[in-house]
Amino acid sequence: MSAAVDHISNDSVSTVHQEKSTTFIPVDKFENVGSMSQDENISARADSHAPPMQAELEPELRWSKFREYGRDFFSEFAGTMIMILFGDGVVAQVILSEDQKGNYQSISWGWGLGVMLGVYVASKSGGHLNPAVTLANCIYRGHPWRKFPVYFMGQLLGCMAGAFIMYGTYYQAFSNLEGGTQRTMLTAGIFCTYPADFLTTEAMWWSEFVSSTILIFVIFALADPHNGNAGKFMPLALFFLIFGIGACFGWQTGYAINLARDFGPRLVSYIVGYPFEVWSAGNYYFWIPMVAPFFGCTFGGFLYDVFIFTGESPINTPWMGLKRFTQPNRKTWSNTYRAQEISKV
């Protein structure tokens, strides 16, 4: 539902680090070790001061390279899985115990903890945990657009994995409450969000839009080195942010504010046997938490950069970066808005 955006500015630094690591120890050197004679191998090791048993480390180093290559995906996957385990887990405990082991307040606490711990787990990728937050960082903070699909898939699949694990953990409690293995809408709200019966479609949209706008506006403030600058306390600050959104704006629609958090577990609920009503409930409400957070986070980022942010942003360039739409080339679209690049185009 949120992210530690203070790490995003280091994304380009991590890219440089990857380039340095691959040039410092070229892969072909490892591949040629096995083709040397023993004397040549020993001589090469002595000359290059390479560590002993280099050949035996080759499989581990290959996995390390694969892990580094998929770091952003693995990081977002693990972070969102942890987020859902705590978030859906606390909802399961409250509903399946029939409010004997928790209440709405504890749900807000559980989601806040889930986001905080998920951000810690996913710190290597910046801890976005939310496709709408990733989009806002691509638009306003120079996060590479080519990484958006990687983050999106990691977040979606991580949320689905967390929902599957939660369901398996509470399976007997589900059956106990529902009196068998047949699943009904009585417990569907454990997986994803459903709106209050009295809401119109416009009110549902507005609720998710406003919550998403608040989410990214505060995140950008916390990550701004000239304003909030939460620094190492960003995950803790996000805990209070999510707790506050849940406690103050969560009743009407359940504050999904995250496509991956809502659609992923909703799909899991349908897979494990819940009726088609998981899609049709609330006049087909399911599409609103898929779409509204993107609009809300984009608008919230725009507001923050227009009125507060003074760093690098397309908002702080001539025509607020709109010249990119008339100059559709790689230089202007792939990390895109830096003043020195704009001046050359």
Span 222-245, pLDDT tens digits: 999 999 889 999 999 999 999 999
CA–CA gap between residue 182 and residue 101 (Å, rounded): 24
The architecture that CATH gives domain 5-15+71-314 is Up-down Bundle (1.20)
User: For residue 99, what pLDDT is reported?
Assistant: 87
Report the mean per-residue pLDDT for the chain.
84
State pTM to two decimals: 0.78
CA–CA gap between residue 211 and residue 215 (Å, rounded): 6
CA–CA gap between residue 257 and residue 293 (Å, rounded): 5
- Which has more confidence, 331 or 288? 288
The predicted model gives 254-272 an average pLDDT of: 98
- Given CA atoms 31, 32, 37, 41 in this order, what sign does their dihedral have? negative
The predicted model gives 205-218 an average pLDDT of: 98
What's the per-residue H, E or C state across 81-104? Answer: HHHHHHHHHHHHHHHHCCCCCCCH
Dump pLDDT digits (tens) for 142-189: 999 999 999 999 999 999 999 999 999 999 999 999 999 999 999 999
Percent of the chain with pLDDT over 70: 76
Would you tell me how many other CB atoms lie within 10 Å of the CB of residue 50? Answer: 15
Q: Domain locations in the chain?
A: 5-15+71-314, 28-66
Dump pLDDT digits (tens) for 304-313: 999 999 999 9
Q: Write down the H helix ranges in the chain.
A: 11-24, 27-33, 38-48, 58-69, 71-96, 104-121, 131-140, 148-169, 171-178, 201-223, 234-249, 259-271, 277-284, 288-307, 330-333, 339-342
